[in-house]
Amino acid sequence: MSTGSATSDAEDDETRSRRAVISSEGPPRRPTRFDPDRFSEEDPEDERSAEQERDGVSRTHQKEARQSQRNAANARERARMRVLSKAFSRLKTSLPWVPADTKLSKLDTLRLASSYICHLRQLLQEDRLQDHFVHPVNLTWPFLLSGRPEEDISSTGRLCGATA
DNA sequence: TAGGCCATCTGGTCCT
DNA sequence: AGGACCAGATGGCCTA
């Protein structure tokens, strides 16, 4: 299942910073698809009038503005994806039967989480059949433990782990 | 070396 | 207008 290519948290940080260096340095950037800016560049055959010259300046400014907006959007996207990755690794750590140092791809994590939820659901149904046992977990958002309101979703990982 | 996985960039779309 | 979200493209890294 695990192909070994999924990285641990430590590795994530390492590769991330490595990539960050690469990407922040700009020039070695991989070639992209169509880049309009590249093609709207000044054409060689131009003796410009002063007006065209001013035009060029404002165009350059527009280009720079667009580029900085793009860079900002890229940074936001990186941050967003980092949040997503962290959520995945948190989800992974809340899976029982999965040792902390196990390499799991995101897809594997989703699959295991899904099957674990199924498993928990079955347990609950069995509980309901026996009907003697009040389950400690309130199964409505935000999944509080009954009688222990200070516990939140972050503790359910440990709860799941204890279930294994 | 091929294939899987991931991070990043990018442009489009939707929402506030 | 600007930000969030999304999906496609791409290149790098790693393993079998």
What single-letter amino acid sits at A68?
Answer: S
pTM recorded for the entire structure: 0.59
Lowest mean pLDDT among A13-27, A61-75, A118-132: A13-27
| Bases along strand C below 7 A from a protein CB | 2-16
Protein CA at A30 to nucleotide C1' at C11, angstroms? 7
Mean pLDDT of A112-132: 84
Q: Which two tokens stand for residue A145?
A: 């433990």
Q: Looking at residue A38, what is its pLDDT?
A: 32
- The string of pLDDT tens digits covering residues A34-46 is 233 332 333 323 3
Which residue, counting CA atoms, is nearest to the C1' of nucleotide C3?
Answer: A73
- Higher-confidence residue of A125 and A54: namely A125
Smallest CA–C1' separation from A17: which nucleotide?
Answer: B7
Give strand letter and number of the nucleotide nearest A71 (CA to C1'). Answer: B9
Between the CA of A47 and the C1' of C3, what is the distance in angstroms?
A: 41
- What per-residue confidence (pLDDT) applies to A52? 65
